[in-house]
Copies of this chain bind each other. A is one copy, B any other.
Amino acid sequence: MEEFNLHLTSDIHAASIANNLLAAAIDARIMHEDVLEDADLSELGLRRLNIDKYSVTWRRVVDVNDRALRNILTGLGARTDGRPMQTGFDIAIASETMAILSMSESLKDMRNRLGRIMIGMDKSGRPVTAEDIGVAGAMAVLLKDAIKPNLMQTCEGQPAFVHTGPFANIAHGNSSILADRMALKLGDYVVTEAGFGADIGLEKFFDIKCRASGLKPDCVVLVATIRALKMHGGGPAVVAGKALPKAYMDEDLRLLDEGVGNLRRNIEIARLFGAPVVVAINRFSHDTEVELEFVKLAALAAGAEYSVVATHWSQGSAGAAELAEAVTKACLKPYDMKLLYPLELSLKDKISAVAKKVYGAERVIYELPAERQVAKYEQIGLGQLPVCIAKTQFSLSHDSKLKGVPKGYELPVREVRISAGAGFICPLAGEIRTMPGLGRRPAFMDVDLDGDGQVVGMF
């Protein structure tokens, strides 16, 4: 798995450097234009961009969970140390450059997308792009190897592509179109992952990635666990480092009954897109037969084509044989892929479509900055983009405390970002952050090299 990490890292590394080069170039341009006369600029072959500092939305990224970088002031110090700006860092995978790697169909397409990145506005309110800054070419050069999918293998030796890794709670949550296309040329069946639940990764898989690539999956596999469903049913919190509460160790059909609604809702969401659904119940050692059977039947009742128990965690691929059979059968079923919204809708209507049909919200509320951003994007002609909503993965709603199947609530949108190059807009719902923080006792504290130079404490 080491190879795996190395390559994953280089994706992220190239995207980070490209992202941060653009950020440095924007700030440098603002500082230089502040000092240079028009004549100086034209001698350098540059035209004045007149960037409106307050409109710059491009942020820096770093590949570490560093909450102290969420909100920062840069450019302090002397006249030659930049210009003071209120900005912040995101985690590298949330970078639009990573999304571009993921969405590109070719090197040329990637180059064009990089050029279309919108970093803010000029003082007349016109968009300023990475192309205007003159850095899109250099970014393309930095990313030209990273666009190539890497062939890895699983512990059992099956081939696997691991290419681009945006999380579905803060990004679009799918691996690259190029890796999928390559896999489709090479194999009979291609399994690709969409992050978290049907409300997040799957919705974006269809409405963003399938819409862009024109590809259509033959079926959807939803993975469920008894433990998670009990939590959605109101079970006690599971705290790292503390003993697992009794509710998760013993059979508890009542809790399961409360929680299974969440699985039912996930199936309904998947069904919105038309695809046949296979539910895979990922078995934990404490799960009882009765519990497993109960969930299996509930899934079928909710519209799943097949519902099977999988034990690959303990038994490897043998434990997934039944699942594989169910999938091959499900793939034979023809269906018409439906998307949740046509691109012609207004941005607000598109956001509303996802919020209501998928998240179960009654209404979307926009804070003042979000209101202005949406209006701006419509005004400059980016209203036709699909929407990629960032929200917590711990609930179908924006509020991690609302378990089960929340209904009738208001979804607050506090900010709306633009990824003009990747090709979507990103509303941030609730308190979701695009830079995670380190916990009270981060896992890395257990990691070390032993006397022989071997890694210990990783698992």
Contacts and interface: CB of A to CB of B under 8 A. Distances in A.
Contacts of A28: 67-68, 437-439, 442
A80 B81 CA distance: 23
Contacts of A54: 78-79
Interface string A347-370: 000000000000000000101100
Interface in A388-427: 412, 414
Given A76-B86, A81-B70, A144-B453, A138 B445 contact: yes
The oligomer's copy count stands at 4
A72 B70 contact: no
Contact of A82 (B46, B70, B241, B430): B70
Interface string A74-97: 111111111111100000000000
Contacts of A457: 137
A293 interface: no
A68 B141 contact: no
Contacts of A111: 448-449
A137 B67 contact: no
Contact of A24 (B31, B45, B65): B65
A455 B144 contact: yes
Interface stretch (A15-23, A257-265, A266-274): A15-23
A44 interface: yes
A431 interface: yes
A441 interface: yes
Given A9-B13, A62-B62, A137-B447, A68 B82 contact: yes
A80 B68 contact: no
A86 B71 CA distance: 12
B73 A444 contact: no
A31 to B, nearest CB: 8
B24 A68 contact: yes
B71 A76 contact: yes
A236 interface: no
A190 interface: no
Contacts of A80: 67, 437
Contacts of A82: 67-70, 437
A68 B27 CA distance: 7
B17 A448 contact: no
A36 interface: yes
Contacts of A40: 440
Nearest to A35: B123
A340 interface: no
A84 B84 contact: yes
A134 interface: yes
B81 A140 contact: no
Interface of A: 6, 9-10, 13, 17, 20-21, 23-25, 27-28, 31-32, 35-36, 40, 44-46, 52, 54, 60, 62-86, 107-108, 111, 123, 134-138, 140-141, 144-145, 241, 365, 367-368, 412, 414, 430-431, 437-442, 444-449, 451, 453, 455, 457-458
13 contacts: A10-B10, A24-B64, A27-B68, A28-B67, A28-B68, A32-B440, A44-B441, A67-B80, A134-B445, A137-B449, A137-B457, A138-B447, A367-B367
Q: What are the 4 closest A-B residue pairs judged by CB atoms, nearest first?
A: A137-B448, A68-B82, A84-B84, A71-B77
